[in-house]
Amino acid sequence: MPRSRIHRLSACLLALCLVSAPAVRAAGFGVSADAGTPGVGAALWFPLAGSFLDFRVGFNTLSFNHAYTSGGIRYDGHAVLRNVPLLVDWYPVGFGFRLTGGVVYNDNQATLVATPQDGSYTIDGTTYPASQAGPLTGSLTYPHLAPYLGFGFGDPFSGILPVFFSVDFGAFYQRSGSVTLVDPHASGNPSLAAGIAAEQAHLEASIGRYRWYPVVSLGLGFTF
């Protein structure tokens, strides 16, 4: 085989190895700003020496208002997203592709305030004047520990430049939410108390469909 052809073949094989093999990972740490479905926040990234792994810990938060109707009752809701992901990334191939697993400390919650319609509340099919029921308020909370699985792109420790981009797709299993409804008139009205208990169970069943919380997140970071 001609020597020039051997040189070209060697160069192609070397380029293929450099592209397909994970790059040598640098030491140090990374910091990123992130935004997505878990909220807006930041993360710290740390390489795990001797392997194609890293560890990251983040914090995300966001609050917003959302109206919700259940069982004929309109609720004005105020949701607060607040979560702390503790994740391990594995880079099995090149191009910054990673598989991610870990756990999320989930402190997402919401408050609910029922709004009377035409001066009354209809609770579990029974209508009560606002003077005999309400204010009806509630809260929604979740178990704090939620396992996470996902994948993404972006490796803070294999690039030449100190700037990196990050994309995550996944979900954490937050299980069923717990709803608590309170009405100051319920203690003196057994029928109203039973209706509120039924409405509380209805709310929990409705919210229970959303046990998996989807994660789509974008980040921009720097390594040091």
CA nearest neighbour of 79 among 213, 220, 172 = 213
* Rounded Cα gap, residues 214 and 83, in angstroms: 13
Q: Do you find a cis peptide bond into 129, omega within 30 degrees of 0?
A: no
Is 58 in contact with 42 (CB distance < 8 Å)?
yes
Model pLDDT, residue 25: 56
- pLDDT band at residue 2, thresholds of 50, 70 and 90? low
Strand partners for 82: 61
149-162 average pLDDT score: 90
Residue 6 has pLDDT above 50, yes or no: no
Q: What is the CATH number of domain 37-223?
A: 2.40.160.170
Tokens coding 188: 């003196």
Q: What is the pLDDT of residues 78-92, one digit of tens each?
A: 999 999 999 999 999
Is 81 in contact with 75 (CB distance < 8 Å)?
no
Q: What is the pLDDT of residues 29-60, one digit of tens each?
A: 999 999 999 999 999 999 986 678 999 999 99
